[in-house]
Amino acid sequence: MVERCVKVYTRFNRIWHWSQVASIMVLFFTGARLLGLHQIGPFGLAVTVHTIVALALLLLWIFATFWLFTTGGWRQFIPRLTGLAQVARFYAYGVFKGEEHPYVKRYDRRHNPLQALAYFALKMALFPAIWISGLLYLSYNLWGGNDGQAVLLGLVANLHVLAAFAIASFVVVHVYLLTIGHGFRQHVRPMITGYEKVDLTPEAEAYFESTGQLIKD
């Protein structure tokens, strides 16, 4: 294996990522307005923007899910137990002692075991929870109408808020981890340029060089 700089994030990867970032930030801001956490902007406008951006992001995620399964990219998010304890120890202890990251990034496994587990939980639990609860809340006029269903609406709303705070916590941790190691700019640059240093087999190195996706030293 040899470390080379390779285009690991396609244009779609990067558009998908930054579109999510912008959309989620807008949803956090407007959602906070709906909860009364701030008074910036009209309430009705916050409802409209929140609804439109949420539906647009849902469509993006549906398309992205189709893209991940048709390209095989979904394999990047399957968690593995191998190396999980070492990575968890690094973030809990080793990083503060100046130790090297125990995970060596590969083209076919860009995410370390802890990252893969976090993304898997995000996509399989938190995202479905917030979308299902959000759609139920949005369509309450179609299925609600009596006192019992009003109680159910409260449960749906609380689930939606809880999932939102869980996703916000993920975002905070995600940004914090970007400051570890080589620095924030070094971690963010690959999602802008598409290129990142990963370990390649000789065969993979020859392939990427032939396709022009390899940056020569």
Residue range 1-36, pLDDT digits in tens? 777 788 888 888 899 999 999 999 999 999 999 999
User: Would you state the pLDDT for residue 214?
Assistant: 67
Residues 6+ apart with CB under 8 A from 11: 194
In a domain, 175, yes or no: yes
In a domain, 189, yes or no: yes
| Residue of 2, 4, 61, 1 whose CA lies nearest to 27 | 61
In a domain, 184, yes or no: yes
How far apart CA 12 and CA 17 sit, in angstroms, is: 8
Residue range 42-88, pLDDT digits in tens? 999 999 999 999 999 999 999 988 988 888 888 888 888 888 899 99
In a domain, 44, yes or no: no
Q: Which domain holds residue 178?
A: 2-9+75-215
The number of domains in the chain is 1
